[in-house]
Structure 1
C-alpha cells in the first residue's frame, strides 16, 4: 500500500542541492514510486520532498543508512531531516 510521506530539511546551498536530484531518484527508487520537490518561499535553503512510498521498511532503512551521509554532505543537506506521515482523524 502506497503512503504519502513528507520530508523537510535545510540545505547549505539550494543550487548545489538541486543538482543532486538524479542521485535522490536513484537512492530512493527501491522504496518510492515518485517524489515532488518544493522550496520554501520565505527561506530558499529550506526544502520539502513529498514521497509516494511503496515500501516503508526500505524507505526507513535508506534514511538511516550511513552510506548516504557522503551524498548528504555533497548535496549540502543539514540535519535534522524531519519526516511526517498523514494521520486520519
Structure 2
C-alpha cells in the first residue's frame, strides 16, 4: 500500500468515527484543532475579520440583538439619519389592534 493509499484509508476511518459523534462535538473538535497554535490575538483578529460587515456575503442574515430599535421612528437608534427622522408610528401602548 502506498503512502497516499494509506492516508486515504486513515481519512475514511476518521470520517466514519466522526460520523458517530454528535455534530456539535464534531464542530467543537474541528474548531479546537484549527485554533491550536494560534494566539488569543490571532483568534480575535480572525473573529473581527469574519464579523466585519464589509466581509458579509450578499443576502446574509444579520443579528441585531445588540441594537436598540425605536418603534415610533421604525428604525434602529444607531442608523444613519435617526436623529433627523420623524416619528411615524404610534407608541407601543397606543397601537390599535
Larger Rg over CA atoms: 2
Which TM-score bucket, shorter chain as reference?
under 0.3
* TM-score, normalisation: structure 2: 0.22
* Higher RCO (CA 8 Å, separation ≥ 6 residues): 1
More helix as a share of residues: 2
